[in-house]
Homo-oligomer: A and B are copies of this chain.
Amino acid sequence: MSRDELVGVARGEVPADLVITNGRLVNVYSGEIYSASLAIRGDRIAAIGDVGYTVGAETELIDAGGHYLCPGLIDGHIHLGGSQLSMTEFARAVVPHGTTAISTDFYEIGVVAGRKAIRFALEELKATPIKVLFNIPPHAYLGHGALGNTNSISTEDVFEMLGWPECTGLAEWNVFVASIPAPGVRELTETAREKRMLLGGHFGDVSSAMANATAAIGIYSEHEAMSAEEALDRLRLGVHIQAREGSAGRDLRHVVKAITELGVDSRHFSYSTDEQEADSLVLDGHVDHKIRTAIRCGVSPMTAIQMATINAAEYFRISDDMGSVGPGKIADILLVDDLAEFNVTQVIANGKVVARDGKYVGEPKTPAYPGYFYNTIKIAGVTVPEDFAVKSPASSDGTASVRVIGVNEGSLVTEDRHFDLPVRGGNVQPDPGRDILKIAILDRYEASGRIGKAFVQGFRIKAGAIGSSFNPGQMNLMVAGTNDRDMSVVANRIAELGGGYVVARDGKILGELPLPLLGLFAEEPAERVVERLQGINQAIATELGSDFPGLHTSVAFVCLAVSIPTLKVCDRGLADVRVMEIVDMFL
């Protein structure tokens, strides 16, 4: 879009392509709401206010009918792997909810298939109405060794990606990560800082001294705050808070109390998703859902909308392009019929109508995926139940004292819990009566037959097994269940599908979602993915007995052996994140 044409429209010398009349402008820049019209030329806004003079013979007119006009919504931190949707289908799912920009890393893709696959996905997403703020979480690729990396991406790759025009900087960064003794990690931090790129943070539950240290190296955002107090502590250090609301980390309701109860300046708050499952994205919503949640928690609609727009845009230093509705900005505009309910009725992105009444307009074209996106689950042949046995060190019947991964609903932080578990035939048994499952991680890259095993408490599964090929860290093949037979059935079926989510009980598959693209993404449309997830979740609820919300994401994060405390599991066995080591499960 030539700026000359914008100037021409503003001066009444060139007609607008699109004029939206009769709207109530939510001006997040001035903090006001007032009646206004907008003139758009190409992909940008040319003028706001009384713009009748910009209408020409060819100008398309949209009567907003008194609806609110809001800027497009920005997700400050999302990993797309958790959605099970291809890039195209992700866009088709969230654009009708008003999302027009996301900050994301494609790291699951990078972990499985390297830099070229990230580039492919980035191009796929860029072909949709969504603007991509690309960031790099180097620790996902470097320096964690066998517990956390797949060696799919080298230091050179990371430096290369840092130079991509879409790249805003590094992410998930903190003092621990910045001091990983991997080649290039120190230089990465310095290079990003010199280029004035953003160092996105992942503070976690750290001491005041460590939080100060993390801010001192220049990390000025945090999406891991889980309470108002934690948010306040970071905020006081000059750290922008991305309040998280995803399938497993549902921190927003707590974090916004810093605004509603502690009364701090709200401008340095925005939203993040981290991970959100497809059914929730489609049915609950995406950033619009976070706005509604914030408003329900007592945040004013203006502030809740500013968090999703201008606050995020100013943090990412892209406020000259997006985050508000004004001349010169990209024409990403939502029509919203009620501010408190934040019901998006129409979405304009890059100056074009892309969604109406919750439906995507037109059919986005899914690209032909390269061959290396398929058949990526490589395990050592078909498993048998015995592969999942956990031998007791005493090798006799009775009980064994075991360190168990303790899970709490709504949090990604696990606990180090200790239980005496029953031993039968020399094998330690899960104990569904005390909500303790067995969990196993199978190497999917080298067909090595390597299986790491542990016990986990808290998922409320009473029978059968679940499994998936999506789990942060290494994206290995994970199964969890009450018995080895169902775990083996699930593992074999996931391998057969080339990736997916599978639920089984009594040797029978009860539901499945094939994820043939890198073992991470469905090839089916979002609606079908949602149906399958609903089928799976129904089976888990009725046949496996669990009502744990965000179950898939929560189980997946138990496999992230190098980040977010405390006990985790990977294909090498039980891991303690505090020491970044494999530990003995037996006490």
Is there contact, CB below 8 Å, between A238 and B29? Answer: yes
Copies of this chain, whole number: 2
* Contact of A534 with B by CB under 8 A: no
Query: With A6-B217, A29-B236, A232-B30 given, is the CB distance from A212 to B48 under 8 Å?
Result: yes
Asked if A135 lies at the interface with its beta carbon under 8 angstroms from chain B, I say no
A326 within 8 A of B: yes
Q: Determine whether the beta carbon of B216 is less than 8 Å from that of A31.
A: no
Distance A267 CA – B313 CA, assembled complex (angstroms): 14
Are A216 and B317 also in contact (CB < 8 A) when A30-B264, A238-B29 are? Answer: no
**Of A7-15, A379-387, A425-433, A470-478, the one with at least 4 CB within 8 A of chain B:** A7-15
Find the residue from A49, A212, A264, A326 having the highest chain B CB count within 10 A.
A212
- Is A501 among interface residues, defined by CB-CB distance under 8 A? no
Contact A217 B11 (CB under 8 A): no
Choose among A193, A215, A218, A328 the residue with the greatest number of B CB atoms under 10 Å from its CB: A328
Q: List 22 A-B contacts (CB under 8 A).
A: A3-B217, A6-B216, A7-B213, A7-B217, A10-B212, A12-B209, A27-B236, A29-B235, A29-B238, A29-B265, A30-B264, A46-B212, A46-B216, A47-B212, A213-B327, A215-B327, A218-B328, A220-B320, A220-B328, A236-B326, A238-B325, A238-B327
Decide: A326 near B264, CB < 8 A? Known: A12-B209, A217-B6: no
Tell me if A531 counts as interface (CB < 8 A to partner B): no
Contact with B along A231-273 (1 / 0, CB 8 A): 0100111110000000000000000000000011101100000
Interface residues of A in 300-344 (CB under 8 A from B): 314, 317, 319-320, 324-329
Contact A53 B209 (CB under 8 A): yes
Per the 8 Å Cβ criterion, residues 193-243 of A in contact with B are: 193, 196, 208-210, 212-213, 215-218, 220, 232, 235-239
CA distance A208 to B10 in the complex (A): 9
User: Are B217 and A328 in contact, CB atoms less than 8 angstroms apart?
Assistant: yes
B30, A235: Cβ atoms closer than 8 Å: yes
Enumerate chain B residues within 8 angstroms of A49, measured Cβ to Cβ: 208, 212, 236
Q: Given the complex of chains A and B, what is the CA–CA distance between A226 and B209 in angstroms?
A: 47
Q: Does any Cβ of B come within 8 Å of A32's Cβ?
A: yes
Q: Could you tell me how many residues of chain A have their Cβ less than 8 Å away from some Cβ of chain B? A: 55
Q: Which residues of B lie under 8 Å from residue A30 when comparing CB positions?
A: 232, 235-236, 264-265, 268
Q: Which residues in B have their C-beta under 8 angstroms from that of A216?
A: 3, 6-7, 9-10, 44-47, 327-328
User: How long is the Cα–Cα vector from A238 to B236 in the complex, in angstroms?
Assistant: 27
Asked, given contacts A29-B235, A235-B30, A320-B218, whether A209 binds B267 with beta carbons under 8 Å apart, the answer is no
- Residues of the B chain whose Cβ atoms lie less than 8 Å from the Cβ of A324: 238
Give the docked Cα–Cα distance between A71 and B325 (Å): 31
- Neighbouring B residues of A357 by C-beta, 8 Å: none
Q: For A133, list chain B residues within 8 Å (CB).
A: none
Contact B50 A208 (CB under 8 A): yes
CB distance from A490 to the nearest CB of B (A): 45
Whether, in the assembled complex, A560 has its beta carbon less than 8 Å from a beta carbon of chain B, the answer is no
- Decide yes or no whether A130 CB sits under 8 A from chain B: no
Complex alpha-carbon distance, A218 and B319, angstroms: 11
Contact of A236 among B44, B48, B175, B320 (CB under 8 A): B48
Contacts of A217 in B (CB 8 A): 3, 6-7, 328
The 4 closest A-B pairs by CB, nearest first: A31-B265, A238-B326, A10-B213, A47-B212
- What sequence of 0s and 1s flags, for each residue 26-61 of chain A, a beta carbon within 8 Å of any chain B beta carbon? 010111100000000000111111100100000000
- Nearest-neighbour CB distance to chain B for A430, whole angstroms, equals 41
Chain B residue with minimal CB distance to A47? B212
Contacting residues, chain B, for A328 (C-beta < 8 A): 215-218, 220, 238
Whole-angstrom distance from the CB of A534 to the nearest CB of chain B? 42
Contact yes or no, B236 A32, CB < 8 A: yes
In the complex, A523→B218 CA distance in Å?
41
**Contacting residues, chain B, for A264 (C-beta < 8 A):** 30-32
How far, in whole Å, are A218 and B238 apart by their CA atoms in the complex? 28
- Report the separation of the CA atoms of residues A468 and B232 in the bound assembly, to the nearest whole angstrom: 54
Residue pair B209, A10 in contact (C-beta under 8 Å)? yes
Residue-by-residue, is A120-158 near B (CB-CB < 8 Å gives 1, otherwise 0)?
000000000000000000000000000000000000000
Best-surrounded residue of A44, A216, A265 (most CB of chain B within 10 A): A216
Kindly provide the distance from the CB of A206 to the nearest chain B CB, expressed in whole angstroms.
Answer: 11
**A209-B11 CB under 8 A given contacts A215-B328, A320-B218:** yes
Chain B residues within an 8 Å CB radius of A6: 213, 216-217
Distance (whole angstroms) from the CB of A88 to the closest CB of chain B: 29
Q: Are B7 and A175 in touch, CB under 8 angstroms?
A: yes
A394 CB to nearest B CB, Å = 43
Q: Chain B residues with Cβ under 8 A from A265's Cβ?
A: 29-31
B268 and A29 contacting across the interface, CB-CB below 8 Å: yes
Q: For residue A10, which residues in chain B have a CB less than 8 angstroms away from its CB?
A: 209-210, 212-213, 216
Contacts of A237 in B (CB 8 A): 48, 326-327
Q: Name which residue of chain B comes closest to A49, CB basis.
A: B208
Cα A287 to Cα B377 in complex, Å, equals 64
Cα A293 to Cα B59 with chains together (Å):
48
* Contacts A30-B264, A215-B327 supplied; 20 other A-B pairs, CB < 8 Å: A3-B218, A6-B216, A7-B217, A10-B212, A11-B209, A11-B210, A29-B238, A30-B268, A31-B263, A32-B236, A46-B212, A47-B213, A47-B216, A48-B237, A49-B212, A49-B236, A196-B317, A215-B326, A239-B326, A317-B317
Question: By the criterion CB–CB under 8 Å, are A209 and B329 in contact?
Answer: no
Q: Chain B residues near A326 (CB, 8 Å)?
A: 215, 236-239
